Structure 1
Amino acid sequence: MSNSAIISALVSAIVTLLIFLLKAIISYFRERSFHEYKIRIENEYEQRKKIKEAISKYKTPLLDSAESLNHRLWNFSKNCNEAWHIPHGDNNINNMYYLQSFCFRLLSFLAWCKIFERELIYLDSTLSVKDDLDFVKYIRTMQNIFSDASIFNGLDYDPTYAVDHFFKDHLSSMVDFMINDKSVISFSEFMKCDTEKYIAISNYISSITKERHCNKWYLLNNFHFVLMAFLSRYGYDFQITDRAKLIKFKMSQPENILSGNLNEIIIRGKLHKCKKMKEAIEVLLSD
């Protein structure tokens, strides 16, 4: 056999071997890439599934407690001037149903929010479908409103002192006594609790002036509009507050000087594109 034939045979063998190796390498990385892609897709699916299950599990108690609080905030907005929330003389909170039940409804809602968030602690909510992700954003935003001192931007307010807002960890720990094994205590159980456990909430509500011209009122009123947007977005038809009713409600209240700051909080919370939230903010900011 001539040298050229030998060389040709060697080249052919080498090329065949290289093609075989190249196919093996390509096949390995293709299978590895597909396997990684499959794991990622399955993980994202499981995450979305668990988040949806958590929402399904806690949506009803969240909506029920939100509705109860909404009713009280409507009533309070209309009757604040009656001063039912303000102790007189030696009145003990245990003898003041209005104030005590107000504390319960607010703490109950915040407790359900905390229980729900605990369910998501190891889940990546950013993988949720938009409807579920907005639900999570509402829950987080409604809790943060009470502890985000930026709501008072532009005012002579020192955020290092929890005067008209709450420090986040303090508020979170205050809610803990309301939680009993992934549920919230009843009002009858709440009435038996030491009032010192919620004295900060009681003092906060009872110090709102009956004229409704104070920071605490402005903050609570802003929270109420977010709560109504949440109920309108995820609640039953009888829990919806339409635009006309929002406008009528806003017109019956003193001007809220903090609404512009609330809008900034909503934008940071990525809720500004939600139709019901956008509607509520538009009404709040309207003349």
Structure 2
Amino acid sequence: MTIGFIGLGAMGRNMAANLLRAGEPLRVWNRSAEPVEALVAKGALRAEHPFEAGRVDVLFTMLADDAATRSVLIDGGVLDAMAPGSIHVNMATVSVGFARQMAQLHQQKEVGYVAAPVLGRFDVAAAGNLNILAAGPGHLIERVQRYFDLMGQKTWRFGDAPEQANAAKLAANLTLVCAIEAMGEAVALVRAYGIAPDGFLELLCQTFFAGSPVYKGYGAMIAQQRYSPAGFTLTLGLKDVNLMLEAGQAASVPLAFGNVLRQLLLDAVQSGEGELDLAALAKVAAGRAGQA
């Protein structure tokens, strides 16, 4: 089969690089040229326009948000260029409502649609160890499973409706942001009593949360106050929390922590810290506590 990839940011370029291991033609497109050049040097085919990347059997996209996906897929003519019977796998974190719209549009075009957002930062993507949250018709997922196996360590299936994968991803991100905020506030508390953050965070990682990559990885960043370069920014975190709240409202599910997190992230972004890593929620907590 021929495959394509659109959206070669920090995550997408690594995912596409792993797809090259399939040994099948991979056509790539991105707004900026640098990641395209890097993949072409590894054997990928260049698409001069986004719709050219859609002329494949299976198209993967990893774009920033609903608006970027709509701009490229719909306004850019990609969906129109896809042949009936082909498959589009959207691996971005998008809203539940947008996922439903996309599924309907693809059905009208007789193009298969699978939602497959991922868990993992860019280094995990580079290693091919992502966790892939997939939803959509089972026979379509079966057709693309071998590509998932190149990009991830495990595929988790969450139903036949694509939006179910997006709901699962947003719910997972809610727990992630809550965990980081909890660590940030806890560190501010112990620091106020003269306790070193690194020793306290080591305690958490070896007791309550032993074996947790979230507490281990983000805990180390918080202890070292290492907030840049960002693997996942506060701005993107705010985007995801807004999507969580939107999904909760649509299903009449109140998300009390989500509302608090939205305000904290909004304050951080408005103060000019939006491009810091999500771990910088700890910096925000320290600032509220009057700690430099």
TM-score (ref. length: structure 1): 0.30
Q: Which has the larger radius of gyration?
A: 1
Between Structure 1 and Structure 2, the one with more strand by share is 2
More helix as a share of residues:
1
Query: Which structure has more RCO (C-alpha within 8 Å, separation ≥ 6)?
Result: 1
